[in-house]
Structure 1
Amino acid sequence: MTTAPTPTLARWFEYMDSDDPDRVLGMIADDFVMSVQFSKGGGESAEFVGDRAGLVGYLAQREKSTLVHHIDVGVTETGHEMVLGRTTRNGAFEASFSAIAQVDAAGSVRRLLIARTPEVSFG
């Protein structure tokens, strides 16, 4: 995983890939809002939305320590971090993802938008 130039998202996905992904709850601002667009492929998808409670619900339904996020391209601009990456399972491609985080002056995530699909590979 790349740690620069998107240190917040790099840490976010490092936590998500660990045995304790709930650590991301310590990274969010009081006014946090998120949307995760999650495609399983073949036109099947789900959206996870909300504030802290929405993130807690998303974390509760995820598989732990099975996927690895790889950030392939990242940029930081004016309090926003944006990445394009891929997830792998046992070293094999699973899905592409993009993520955008708005980060406040204290380094907390205020807004988070993630989209993933197994249908498109940038490799």
Structure 2
Amino acid sequence: MTATVPVLTRWFTYMDSDDPDRVLSMIAEDFAMSVQFSKGAGQSAEFVGDRDGLVAYLAQREKSTLTHHIDVGAVIGEYELVVGRTTRAGAFEASFNATAQLNAAGAVRRLLIARTPEVAFTQ
């Protein structure tokens, strides 16, 4: 992963670990999120909400099976933006993009993630 987006790099490192709940320590009090999750072939789900929404998202996801790779990242003011891909056992699974808005203390206030296996960005 790239070091140019320190918060999202840490976020996805936690998500890839045996203890993804550590991301809960990274969110602001006014946190809000949406994760648009496509499995392909028009099958998708949206996970939304505040801290409780994130807890529900974490509870339903597989642990330590996917690896997030950030291919491109940028910091623009209070925002971090990335484009990347997930792999399972080294094989491509999906592309994703993520945008995080940070507060003055560096905690995540807003998080928008979209992922799909239907589009692969080649390097």
TM-score over 0.5 for the alignment? yes
Aligned to 1:37: 36
Aligned to 1:69: 68
Report 1:1-123 matches (<5 A): 1-2=1-2, 4-123=3-122
Moved over 2 A (4+): none
What SS is found at the alignment partner of 1:122?
A: coil
Q: Tell me how far 1:89 sits from its aligned partner.
A: 0.2
Question: 2-side partners of 1:20 and 1:28: how far apart?
Answer: 16
Question: 1-side partners of 2:83 and 2:106: how far apart?
Answer: 20
Q: Percent identity?
A: 76
What TM-score results when the alignment is normalised by the length of structure 1?
A: 0.98
Q: Tell me how far 1:5 sits from its aligned partner.
A: 1.1
Question: 1-side partners of 2:75 and 2:4: how far apart?
Answer: 6
Structure 2 segments unaligned to the other structure (5+ residues): none
Q: Residue by residue, what CA displacement relative to the aligned partner does 1:7-61 show, whole Å, maximum 9, x if unpaired?
A: 0000000000000000000000000000000000000000000000000000000
Structure 1 segments unaligned to the other structure (5+ residues): none
Question: 2-side partners of 1:77 and 1:42: how far apart?
Answer: 34
Root mean square deviation, CA, Å: 0.4
Question: 2-side partners of 1:72 and 1:104: how far apart?
Answer: 24
State the aligned residue count: 122
